[in-house]
Amino acid sequence: MTTGVPPKTFISDLRPGRVATIEVTVAKLDPVREVEQRAGGKQKVRNGVLRDRTGEIAFVLWGDQVDLVSEGENVRIVEGWVKDYKGRPEVSLGRTGRVEKAPPPER
C-alpha cells in the first residue's frame, strides 16, 4: 500500500541529474542578492547549506523562493533537483520542487 510519500533519501545518496525528496536542517543561509538574467532584468537568488546525519549539500533558491526557509529550520525538500554546479552537487527546487515544514531529523 503506497501512501504517496516518496522513499526517504539522504544527502549522501544524492547524485547530479536526479530528483529527490530529503528531510534536512537549513544549516546556513547567505543573504539574498540579485543577479542579471540572460534574458534581461534581475532575479533574486539565495544560496545556503542543507544538512542531515549523512552530510551537507549546497542549495539555491530563486525568485519568490528566497524567503521559504530560515536558518536552523527543519524542512522537507520535495522533488528537489540535484545538479552539478562547479564540480559539486547542489539542490534547487527546479520547476516542480517544493519546501514543506518537517519534524526534527533523525539522529
DSSP 29-81: EPPPEEEE-TTSSEEEEEEEEEEETTEEEEEEEEGGGGGS--TT-EEEEEEEE
Give dist(CA 102, CA 87) in Å, integer.
29
Cβ-count burial 32-61 (b if 16+ within 10 Å, e if not): eeeeeeeeeeeeebbbbbbebeeeebbbbb
- The pLDDT assigned to 2 comes to 47
Per-residue pLDDT of the chain (107 residues; tens, 9 = 90+): 445 555 678 999 999 999 999 999 999 999 999 999 888 899 999 999 999 999 999 999 999 999 999 999 999 999 999 999 999 999 999 888 999 998 776 65
What distance lies between CA 81 and its chain's CA centroid?
8
6 located within any domain:
no
- The pLDDT assigned to 8 comes to 74
pTM confidence score: 0.87
Q: Is the dihedral of CA 26, 29, 32, 36 positive or negative?
A: negative
1 located within any domain:
no
5 located within any domain:
no
69 located within any domain:
yes
- The pLDDT assigned to 1 comes to 46
2 located within any domain:
no
3 located within any domain:
no
61 located within any domain:
yes
73 located within any domain:
yes
Domain count, the chain: 1
Q: Are 58 and 49 in contact (CB under 8 A)?
A: yes
**CATH code, domain with 35:** 2.40.50.140
- The pLDDT assigned to 102 comes to 86
What's the domain range around 94? 11-101
